[in-house]
Amino acid sequence: STTPLSPTQRDFWDKVVFLMGKTGHSPDLVDIEPPDDVLVFAVEPPPGD
């Protein structure tokens, strides 16, 4: 069973996909503000990149 996304979640993920299409990588949190019902975390690139 799946839970549908809220309107704010849908809007957020639409923006993420749009920005990834423009830049080729996931957006920084300075470029997009996640809504309160989306949990985000930062990851570091693997060593050697």
- Residue 24 and residue 37 in contact, taking contact as beta carbons nearer than 8 Å: no
CB-count exposure of residue 15 (10 Å: 0-12, 13-18, 19+): middle
Per the confidence metrics, is the pTM higher than 0.75? no
| Residue 41 scores a pLDDT above 90 | no
| Residue 27 scores a pLDDT above 70 | yes
Q: How many domains does the chain have?
A: 1
| Residue 49 scores a pLDDT above 70 | no
- Residue 5 and residue 16 in contact, taking contact as beta carbons nearer than 8 Å: no
| Domain around 31 | 1-49
